[in-house]
Chains A and B, each alone.
Chain A
Amino acid sequence: MHPKSRRLSLSVLMAVAALVCVWFVTPTALTAGQKAEARERGRFRVDLYSGFSFLNPSDLNLFVDYDRSVQEFSYDAYFDYLRNNNMIRSWNKNAEGERKKIRFALPFGIRIRYSVLDFLAVSVGFQYFRRGPSESLNFGYTRNETSSEQYLESLDIMPYRLEVKAYCPIVGIHFFKRFGSVFTVEAFAAGGPLFAECSYESHWHYTWTIQGQGYAWETYKSEGLLQEDGSGTGLSLEVGGRFSIPVHRRLDVFIECGYAYQAIKSLSGSGRETQGEKTETWDGKWGIKSETMTTPWGARDLLFPTNYRTDGTGVGDFRLNLSGFRIRIGVSWGF
């Protein structure tokens, strides 16, 4: 999300939350029966929930743009150059799988609430989510050489994985209004420290085979692994609303919607790269580096996140932004 839109959304949400709070604190006259029922339900509640978090950790997702671009430039653009200069007759490509950005996560959490007043509760809780699908990618390129031979290049990447993991202990304040024993609506605000981790892993195998009439020679093969991890601490703030209905004397089900601001501005971690038999390891702060690939078939400017040698100049800030809209469903047990 664009920073301006993000600021606007936050402002609107905060304003709505403030209005809702005013509405909630307006005293509601409870009947004697309702008061008795409330006492029976207890002042404590335990909430368990899961749901859907919309995310766009755009700096981390740069990996996908970068890797796609490098591959397109190193293979597709290169082969076009060879074909246009009559250095090969033609080429084609087969692709299975796709590098995917992180767009959502499935969080779960637990919360203990204590009703201080008939319209006000406070809570402590814990939220966790992790997203890191492991992709399997296979690319096959066939170059039809000016001789009768074909060069078959295969690039298999397994796993290709971007991962984020976050957990945050939170405290919250909840303004709620019960509508008899039918339903309850609530507005809440919560916050706490955010502990998050991110990682990137790409394990590739490359093979070049020469194929002619009656022969196929595996001429060269290699493999490599690039793995970079990061962790850091930030802030989590969330505002939202909740609608719950009782399904049992002490048990409610609820649905919550809201917006969470969750960002970490500084991450660091380890990295490891293996190519052939050589392994290099490092530790570093995450940043965004730029590089230009300059080749006989052109040049391409690239941006990529990394924690490899980011102490020099020209390295931009890396921010792990896990903010976004949240929708959750859960159960709440009173005691």
Chain B
Amino acid sequence: MCLFLTSLGLLPFFPEAGAQPLQNEAGYMDIEPITFYFHYGSYHNRLALKSSRARIWYNFLAADQDLPETPLFIFFNGGPGSATSCGLMSMYTGRYTLDNRIENGGGDAYIVNPVSWTRLGHLLYIDARQTGFSYNLMDQVQDEGKRFQEFNAQNFNSFFDASDYIRVLLRFLAAHPALRNNPVVIVGESYGGVRATAMLHLLLNYADYKNGRETFQDPALADEIQAHFNTVFPRYAGQVVPPEVIAQQFGHQVLIQPALSFNYQNETENEMLRRPGSLLYKIGEEVGVPYDPARYPDPLDFVYEVAGRDYYIYTKPRDWLNGFFNNAGALLRSVRNLSLVTGVDVTAIRDLYASSRAAAYRVILTSYPVSLEPMKVSPMIRALFVTPAQLEAPIVQQEPGDLNTVFGDLQPWDRYFMGSNGNANWAFHVYNVALVRGYDVHSWEPRYGRMFLKNVAHVRTFITNAALDLVVYTAALPPSLAKHTETLVSAQHITQGGEFRPGKIILNYLSSAFPDIPGLQTRTIRFPIYERSCHAVSLTQPLDLFTDVSEWLRENGIDVR
């Protein structure tokens, strides 16, 4: 593929030094402890939480051409608890990438990406709290019991996770006045769909996250968003900015195999895959084990355990995609590779050094057994975070590379890099006091589907439809959105069209869907099919994704060249 692209003249264009005022950057953004709360309508009975101090890793790649309206793409992967550095950052979006032609994890070196998204705009990659290179800080860090208590709702829940991203984004924009007014395109993969949904809902309805209308309340964030809007939309300085105005800056999202209303997606997926003639029957025929829904009640169990296939791409052997993530994680633990991919000399990043992180922690138990929990988990939970973390565990327990040589030996509970932090995963899903106290903020709840549908009223949306992905089985997405009967009349999947990779979802809203959006009737989501793609579409069909996103952005008011 790389040679093919070279022959087409599609290799990235690198401007001459000095031609662009913005430089690549990598490093940490400090997030102070934040007090926020959940409530069900009773202020004095709220669940007040205070996060820990965090250093969030970001990497900024300046666009090949910096024009006044050049968009800023903000990238993130999912999990929750999974890193962006070994995901989208390493998979055909930045200037360097793993090699998708090498089956076993993408090779032992990064290669030049022929379809770098720096052609389209500036790129900002962010590793979520406690994932990738990001780390938290705490007092009495040597106390195992206290570290255990750190992995809970005060640091890990979908709303606060999204507010982390907004804080990093807004502070980054504030530090770069040249970018502050530019359009921002959110690019999220997998659980990143929930994160994008929560981020956009927080941004578009920010006042409701301070005035008590929403379950999650983060007054300091609402103030920070208002301060940003005071600068970007001076006409509204000091006033609540309407969502249609906010969408002038935060009005585009590209969602790669997203979780959006994941309980409904799961239900629909299971219904579809159990039907006679489904993909599971085809897989069963291929491996010589006929699929029987009665015998194999869980589709993912059948694919992984019985057929030995990768549920992220069912045509490949199991753990194929995780091999790429883990390989990227291993490669990024080298100063040379990390400097190459980030475009900066990482030895200048102070907070990477062991001497700067005496209070840092990444894991509960220093031996990192991934999960403290002995109970059996559902195949979907296992697919999304137990298996990735377990596969990665050996290189978390004993980190490869030269980072410790260059930056110093870390405390036993600290790590330089974690692709998928199993302890953080558990905190999102299980060890979470907000969930235990009944707040319906788990990332699979229908509330995120409703929030997504409200966002789409203002935000142009592009969603990939990867044919080979069974974890986020996007064929089930339109019918699962249609299950939001409180909001939609219908969600139609249009498979025909004039595009090279056609596909659309047409959402028909109930007139009563959102009283604060009068006249909302129909919205169209671009939903192209990627016949050869796994969950990580940018890895398996990079040029196609790049092309489709470029065209879609142009059609939707973003000036990309």
* Residue positions of A touching B, CB distance < 8 A: 70, 74, 78, 147-149, 151, 153, 208, 210, 212, 217-222, 224, 226, 273, 275-278, 291-297, 302, 306, 308
Contact = CB atoms under 8 A, between A and B. Distances in A.
Contacts, number: 69
Given A217-B148, A220-B149, A278-B48, A149 B42 contact: no
B437 A74 contact: yes
A276 B48 CA distance: 7
Given A147-B376, A217-B372, A208 B433 contact: yes
Contact of B438 (A74, A208, A302): A74
Secondary structure at the A interface, as helix, strand, loop or mixed, is: strand
A161 to B, nearest CB: 16
16 contacts: A70-B42, A74-B437, A149-B375, A212-B374, A220-B149, A275-B37, A276-B50, A291-B41, A291-B42, A291-B43, A293-B40, A293-B41, A293-B45, A296-B440, A306-B44, A308-B43
Contacts of A153: 436
Given A218-B145, A278-B50, A294 B41 contact: yes
Contacts of B420: none
Given A74-B437, A219-B152, A219-B431, A293 B42 contact: yes
Nearest to A143: B436
A220 B433 CA distance: 7
Tell which of A217, A277, A297 has the most Cβ of chain B within 10 Å: A217
Contacts of A74: 45, 437-438
Contacts of A221: 149
Interface string B61-82: 0000000000000000000000
Contacts of B45: 70, 74, 293
Given A147-B376, A220-B433, 18 more contacts: A74-B438, A149-B375, A212-B374, A217-B372, A219-B148, A220-B149, A220-B436, A273-B44, A275-B46, A276-B49, A276-B50, A291-B41, A291-B43, A293-B42, A294-B40, A295-B438, A296-B438, A308-B44
A9 B152 CA distance: 58
B35 interface: yes
Nearest to B33: A277
A226 B48 CA distance: 13
Interface in B17-69: 35, 37, 40-46, 48-50
A219 B433 contact: yes
A308 B43 CA distance: 10
A151 B50 contact: no
Tell which of B45, B152, B440 has the most Cβ of chain A within 10 Å: B45
A278 B153 CA distance: 17
Given A208-B436, A276-B35, A277-B50, A218 B44 contact: no
Interface in B373-394: 374-376
Interface in B428-480: 431, 433, 436-438, 440
Nearest to A220: B433
A83 to B, nearest CB: 13
A275 B145 CA distance: 21
B298 to A, nearest CB: 16
Contacts of A78: 438
Nearest to B439: A295
Tell which of B40, B41, B148 has the most Cβ of chain A within 10 Å: B40
Nearest to B431: A219
A224 B48 CA distance: 9
A129 B35 CA distance: 41
A291 to B, nearest CB: 5
A147 B149 CA distance: 21
A153 B433 CA distance: 10
7 smallest beta-carbon distances between A and B, as pairs: A147-B375, A275-B48, A220-B433, A293-B40, A293-B41, A78-B438, A295-B40
Contacts of B433: 208, 219-220
Contacts of A149: 375
Contacts of A273: 44
Contacts of A308: 43-44
A187 to B, nearest CB: 47
Given A219-B152, A291-B41, A297 B35 contact: no
Nearest to B50: A276
Nearest to A212: B374
Tell which of B41, B43, B153 has the most Cβ of chain A within 10 Å: B41
Contacts of A148: 375
A277 B431 CA distance: 21
Interface string B353-388: 000000000000000000010111000000000000
A224 B50 CA distance: 13
Contacts of B149: 218-221
Nearest to B445: A296
A296 B40 CA distance: 10
A23 B49 CA distance: 70
A149 B430 CA distance: 12
Contacts of B440: 295-296
Contact of B436 (A70, A151, A212): A151
A219 B436 CA distance: 11
B367 to A, nearest CB: 16
Contacts of A224: 48
Contacts of A296: 438, 440
A277 B277 CA distance: 58
A220 B152 contact: yes
Nearest to A217: B148
A151 B437 CA distance: 11
